[in-house]
Amino acid sequence: MDRGISVKGYMRIQRQWGLMLLPLIAAALSIPAVAQQPPTPAPSAAPAAAPPKPKPKPAAAAPATKPAPKPAAPAAAGGPQPKLLGQYGDWGAYAASPGGKKICFAIAKPTSSKTVPPNRPRNPIYMFISTRPADKVTNEVSIVIGYPFKAGSEASAQIGSTTYPLYTQQDGAWIKNAAEEAQMIDAMRTGDTAVVKGSSAKGTETTDTFTLKGVSQALDRTAQECK
């Protein structure tokens, strides 16, 4: 965090980037689900003397030209869809260039989520760690919690025995003390889980657990791409 920027100004910058990244993240989250589909297992034994099925008659030739398909998710302002650099455990590494500025990010969904009261509906939840060379930002941790936080409330992220306070704005959370961000990243590289807790504007208490398996490799890949 630039010490010449007020906390409110820093929050505003992060929120603006968060909004710009949302379409990229939505597209990114849809990529692993397709890319990581397991192959259909071969049958243990082929049916005995099964006659081959007749091939269907070929359909009429398609027109020489047809309209381009619509993208599955909108691209961020002026930028292409994110490129999957690699999938490492539960963490995907991506690169994109929204607005002509290259960014790289590692992203994961929680492996478990709990609410009190139970079964409260929420939007998608994810943690992402972004690097923006043009802005001299490296490994900035952001969490989108799937509901508006209670105004003025803090959230927390526990990694091992260390708990990091998070400031909140709308549905986003970031580390409160920017000087601890590098320490938090180091803890994530060697830890097993990150447990994020928060309170919604409606009083719902949430606990989301993110596995950290693969985060180190994903961060190494984004660092290589966004030097």
Per-domain boundaries in the chain: 7-34+75-225
Per-residue pLDDT of the chain (227 residues; tens, 9 = 90+): 443 334 444 444 444 555 556 666 666 655 443 333 333 344 344 444 444 444 444 444 444 433 333 333 333 444 458 999 999 999 999 999 988 889 999 999 999 999 999 999 999 999 999 999 998 999 999 999 999 999 999 999 999 999 999 999 999 999 999 899 999 999 999 999 999 999 999 999 999 999 999 999 999 999 999 98
Decide yes or no: CATH 2.60.40.1880 for domain 7-34+75-225. yes
Its pTM stands at 0.71
- Cα distance between residue 176 and residue 168, in whole Å: 9
Closest-CA residue to 79 (of 54, 61, 99): 99
- Cα distance between residue 68 and residue 216, in whole Å: 38
What are the backbone angles phi and psi of residue 29, rounded to the nearest 5°?
Answer: -65, -20
